[in-house]
Amino acid sequence: MKRIAIIGGGIIGLSSAFYLTRAGHEITIFDAEDFKNSCSIGNAGMIVPSHLIPLASPGMIAKGIRWMFNAKSPFYVKPRFSKDLVRWGMKFYAHANQAHVERSIPVLKEISILSKSLYRELANENIFYFGYDERGLLMLYQTRETEKEEAEAARVANKNGVEAHVLSLPEIQRLEPEVKVTAKGGVYFPGDAHLVPQYLIANLVKYLKQQGVAFFTNAEVDNLVLVDDKVICVELKRERHQFDEFIIAAGAWSGILCSKMRIDIPMQSGKGYSFTLPDVSRNIRIPSLLLEGRVAATPMGNSLRFGGTMEINGTDRSVNMKRVTGIVETIPKYYPEMSIPVPDPNLVWSGLRPCSPDGLPYIGRSSKYKNLIVATGHSMMGVSLGLATGKLVTEIVDEVKTSMDISMFNPDRFARR
């Protein structure tokens, strides 16, 4: 048994605690907040083996530049002088190519399928409820340009063993009998799933407490104390806590903490927004992505959550209502019978997604400190890849063969030589 500190109480930290506890370790989680407003809470809740192509891919640069000049667009980079942002942007540009995509597809597929299988296993155990359901995912499009892109994405998915069907509007409408859909067409991925993130987080925290996991909330970790090639303790404002192993799973703040330890993991925060409509009388059945607006729509029981945008803007979590208005204005273009007012800013959730420059997460042991593991950088896929990451972290701690090859997730892959 090892005494293990996990810095970060989002889905990655909690999933790691879940599997580490089952492996017999003594776990303490430190979180700067209180688990009620983590990035995982307002997530769209999609479990998406369909997402084989990393964020850093051909075409994203051109789209990003085009979107930046629209105040309501789904993508924005806040202009600011930042060496870290410039370096991140250069590395993103260097990876936005077909060769990188082809290298990434097999590992993204493997970790996604592993995670889905673990979510299914957890749902079947029935130790707590988190709204897990396997209804697939619809990618809806309205332009010829997007139709061409999605047909190619479907071809790539099928080629790599992920089932995808290109559908006409009448075929889509048969899948959505309760809600009128407007689209040129779509791609249906029947192997995807979804869950209710706020149930997952709340019930996972409750379960972990019952299993003896210690929680330090509103406890910002100022530093990790280092001696030679080991981490010795977690340093808070007025106290220190010693452990055998340390896991950095602090989401968007992981890069800041790692930089204090001279660990080089390029990271930028991608802010996203969501809002949830309660008691929807005629709801969609299948989670959908409204592609031209980059808006996610997920049914969660009688509720319906909409989310979107990617703002690269540091760690600012303030709500930009122009971006939220962009989400609202997208909805009736696809669901014409849904006339939704712009929500009150107090009802809009915002969260920071930790984005690596190559679109792959950081999962692995640091080469600098032999008892430190990094698990972060999942971008919009944190919930989707959460359980798989927790399982892999546990295997790393236990020094057993990992469930998959994680060499492409090496946290030292961008280290300055």
Name the average pLDDT for the chain.
92
Q: 302 vs 33, which has greater pLDDT?
A: 302
In this prediction, residue 72 carries a pLDDT of 62
With bands split at pLDDT 50, 70 and 90, how would you rate the model's confidence at 368? very high
- Alpha-carbon distance 177 to 243, whole Å? 55
- Provide DSSP, 30-73: E-SS-SSS-TTTTS--EE-TT--S-SS-TTHHHHHHHHHT-TTS
Q: What is the distance of C-alpha 206 from the center of its chain?
A: 22
pLDDT in tens, 238-287: 889 999 999 999 998 999 899 989 999 999 998 999 999 999 989 999 99
Three-class SS state of 187: strand
- Alpha-carbon distance 176 to 53, whole Å? 27
pTM for this model (two decimals): 0.95
Top-tier CATH class for 3-409: alpha beta
pLDDT in tens, 101-127: 999 999 999 999 999 999 999 999 999
Closest by alpha carbon to 25, among 394, 366, 375, 387?
394
- Alpha-carbon distance 23 to 19, whole Å? 6
Q: 34 vs 307, which has greater pLDDT?
A: 307
Token representation of residue 133: 């359901």
pLDDT in tens, 25-64: 999 999 988 776 666 788 999 999 999 988 877 776 666 6
Segments making up each domain of the chain, as ranges: 3-409
With bands split at pLDDT 50, 70 and 90, how would you rate the model's confidence at 375? very high
Confidence check: pLDDT of 81 > 90: no
Residues 298, 255: contact at Cβ < 8 Å? no
- Alpha-carbon distance 338 to 290, whole Å? 14
Q: Which residues contact 7 (CB under 8 A, 6 or more apart)?
A: 13, 30, 221, 224, 234, 246, 247, 248, 249, 250, 257
- Alpha-carbon distance 164 to 302, whole Å? 27
- Alpha-carbon distance 36 to 54, whole Å? 29
